[in-house]
């Protein structure tokens, strides 16, 4: 009886698997034919394991968040850009991605099209999962599409296990970026044609395939300086299909501010998510989930990563978002996903401070340049604001006072001419508790789904992104009026009357990129968005990262190394990424 592997592409394709384990990771073909739903369910289950490292690769390498300090966890390499091939989280991303490819491919090989509408729908779901996996793997391990896709390497295209896994165990090396994208597009178009039943936001759908095609073509559309009109047009075409389907709608501002709390099936804006449920977690499991690194809720979570000062500044650019409990006022709806940990003094009162970010003086020549937060006690007396700083000098307390200059008195933003001679802008606020030296700007966008915990179903596609995809594609086509309409559809939803007045070649990249950063933060998109448009990543804000080192889009560290265990166990040649520029 022919065996269909339920595990990886084949046992030898990844670490810790071998042919001897085949009986425990396989199922008779007849068993699958009688119960294909079991194998399809298993394919979706692979996405649950895959989605955790997927998020960390995409989000931690960006500039929306910072971590309290260096860590021995493998994810710190994603933050520090200290790339190595021996990283278990990277290995998990590879393994579970190829498990999903293997299982979906084997279903596709086993069942013929046209047997029934229901079976065609299931096949379409498999094509969607496989196409999505090839795209996500390629954008992590392959260079941005605008950089010589005909020669740069993507990932191996291995569509199912060989019929004879004992004697025919030789897999191809990595395909080019161009060919990998072509495989993803082919699969997703097949999914689009086969899926006719929409089973809900937790399942692949025709519109989910169209949403992913809109994103892929956007990734292929070149940079703003050198756009590819053909691919930009296709990105618009597929965005149109999703938007005009009438199956999804943007949440209103008030609802959007609670986006993270809705279950996927209750969210009109969601197109496809990797569905998680509370019963999958037990005990302290929520500590180690995505949201558990960003916050502590109900005693669950490490709370070691916070919104970056750069992201906070973007949120406050139009007007100050005031998170103080007795003054709560959100200007940009995206600020509702940030929750500072205000702390009270021993009398149960909040302490008023002036918080700003300053540049540190290097302790010795050659030290890394850094910035840091300051929270100085402040006294507000009518229109006069003074702050005081106490420093130790020769074991004695030396007090220095500063009178602040109003920048926007209504919003309580001020500037200080500090002792280093530099002028910094900050705001009057309540004291935020520190973790090490960093105020805890908790991120809750990946928490509280349906309950007060860290439950979160990672978002793959939602309608807000599709409008932004179309805006960028229109801009690259030179249709700035249509681009502005789509951009302001998202902008005005979050900021009342906050729409931009004009868009042209001089500001399109700046405004659209900014809106994508604000809107898609903590959805694992940011680092890829920066590099695919040929821009450097700047992380000049407090944190342990190299703050004054810009990562160029051509830097070898933009792509992750192929996991070494995957190379060691691969039945054939598997080429590693460059280890230097």
CA distances from 412 to 128, 319, 387, 425, 577 (A): 50, 11, 14, 11, 50
Structure tokens given for 256: 């959007």
Question: pTM of the prediction?
Answer: 0.93
Beta carbons of 146 and 170 less than 8 angstroms apart: no
Beta bridge partners of 438: 435
Q: How far apart are CA 211 and CA 245, in angstroms?
A: 11
pLDDT tens-place string over residues 302-332: 999 999 999 999 999 999 999 999 999 999 9
CA distances from 173 to 99, 140, 566, 574 (A): 17, 17, 12, 5
Structure tokens given for 481: 């009026």
Kindly write down the DSSP assignment for every residue of 366-431, as one continuous string.
TPPP-EEEEEEEEEEETTEEEEEEEEEETTEEEEEEEE-EEEETTTTEEEEE-TTS-EEEEEEEEP
Residue 396's CB: how many other CB atoms inside 10 A?
Answer: 7
CA distances from 46 to 14, 211, 558, 560 (A): 15, 21, 26, 21
Beta bridge partners of 392: 397
CATH code 1.25.40.390 region(s) in the chain: 31-278+459-569
Q: Note the pLDDT of residue 17.
A: 31
pLDDT tens-place string over residues 435-460: 999 999 999 999 999 887 899 999 99
Q: How far apart are CA 580 and CA 374, in angstroms?
A: 37
CA distances from 406 to 12, 331, 424 (A): 66, 20, 12
Structure tokens given for 365: 């020549």
Beta bridge partners of 270: 462
Exposed/middle/buried for residue 78 (C-beta within 10 Å: 0-12, 13-18, 19+) = buried
**31-278+459-569 CATH fold:** 1.25.40
Residue 556's CB: how many other CB atoms inside 10 A?
Answer: 15
Chain position carrying tokens 């937790």: 202
Q: How far apart are CA 107 and CA 364, in angstroms?
A: 62
Q: Note the pLDDT of residue 280.
A: 83
- Residue numbers of the chain with a pLDDT score lower than 50: 1-28
Q: Note the pLDDT of residue 27.
A: 44
Find the helix packing angle between 88-110 and 36-60, rounded to 10°. Answer: 150
Q: Note the pLDDT of residue 168.
A: 60
Q: Note the pLDDT of residue 564.
A: 96
Chain position carrying tokens 């090989």: 109
Q: Note the pLDDT of residue 366.
A: 79
Structure tokens given for 156: 């191996």
């Amino acid at each position: 009886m022919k065996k269909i592997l339920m595990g990886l592409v084949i046992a030898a394709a990844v670490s810790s698997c071998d042919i001897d384990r085949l009986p425990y990771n396989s199922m008779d073909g007849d068993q699958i034919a009688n119960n294909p739903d079991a194998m399809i369910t298993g394919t979706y289950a692979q996405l649950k394991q895959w989605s955790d490292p997927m998020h960390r690769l995409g989000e931690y390498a960006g500039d929306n968040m910072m971590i309290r300090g260096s860590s021995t966890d493998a994810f710190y390499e994603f933050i520090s850009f200290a790339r190595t091939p021996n990283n278990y989280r990277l290995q998990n991303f590879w393994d579970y991605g190829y498990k999903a490819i293997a299982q979906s491919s084997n279903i596709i090989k086993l069942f013929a099209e046209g047997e029934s509408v229901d079976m065609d729908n299931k096949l379409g779901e498999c094509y969607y999962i496989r196409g999505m996996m090839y795209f996500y793997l390629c954008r992590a391990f392959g260079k941005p599409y605008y950089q010589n896709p005909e020669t740069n390497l993507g990932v191996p295209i291995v569509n199912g296990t060989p019929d004879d896994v004992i004697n025919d165990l030789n897999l191809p090396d990595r395909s080019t970026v161009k060919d990998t994208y072509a495989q993803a597009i082919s699969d997703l178009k097949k999914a689009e044609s086969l899926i006719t039943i929409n089973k809900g936001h937790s399942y692949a759908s025709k519109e989910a395939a169209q949403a992913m095609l809109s994103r892929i073509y956007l990734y292929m559309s070149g940079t703003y300086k050198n756009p590819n009109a053909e691919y930009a047009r296709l990105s618009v075409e597929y965005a149109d299909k999703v938007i005009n389907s009438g199956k999804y709608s943007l949440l209103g501002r008030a609802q959007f501010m609670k986006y993270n709390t809705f279950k996927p099936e209750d969210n009109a804006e969601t197109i496809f998510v990797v569905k998680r449920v509370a019963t999958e977690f037990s005990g302290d499991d929520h500590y180690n989930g995505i949201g558990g690194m960003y916050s502590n809720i109900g005693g669950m979570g490490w709370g070691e990563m916070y919104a970056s000062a750069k992201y906070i500044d973007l949120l406050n650019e139009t007007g100050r978002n005031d998170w103080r409990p007795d003054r709560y006022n959100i200007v940009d709806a995206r600020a509702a996903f940030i929750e500072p940990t205000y702390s009270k003094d021993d009398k149960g009162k909040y302490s008023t401070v002036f918080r700003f970010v300053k540049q540190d003086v290097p302790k010795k020549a050659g030290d890394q340049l850094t910035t840091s937060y300051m929270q100085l006690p402040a006294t507000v007396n009518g229109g006069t604001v003074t702050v005081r700083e106490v420093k130790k000098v020769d074991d004695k307390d030396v007090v220095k006072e500063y009178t602040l200059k109003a920048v926007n008195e209504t919003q309580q933003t001020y500037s200080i001419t500090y002792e280093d001679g530099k002028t910094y802008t900050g705001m009057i606020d309540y004291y935020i508790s520190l973790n090490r030296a960093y105020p805890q700007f908790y991120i809750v966008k990946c928490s509280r789904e349906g309950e007060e915990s860290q439950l979160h179903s990672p978002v793959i596609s939602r309608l807000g992104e599709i409008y932004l995809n179309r805006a960028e594609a229109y801009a690259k086509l030179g249709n700035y009026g249509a681009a502005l309409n789509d951009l302001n559809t998202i902008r005005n939803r979050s900021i009342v009357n906050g729409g931009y007045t004009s868009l042209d070649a001089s500001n399109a990249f700046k405004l659209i990129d900014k809106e994508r950063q604000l809107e898609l933060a903590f959805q694992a998109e940011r680092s890829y968005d920066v590099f695919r448009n040929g821009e450097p990543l700047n992380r000049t804000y407090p944190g342990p990262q190299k703050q004054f080192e810009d990562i160029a889009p051509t830097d070898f560290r933009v792509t992750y190394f192929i996991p070494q265990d995957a190379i060691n166990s691969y039945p054939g040649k598997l080429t590693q990424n460059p280890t230097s520029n």
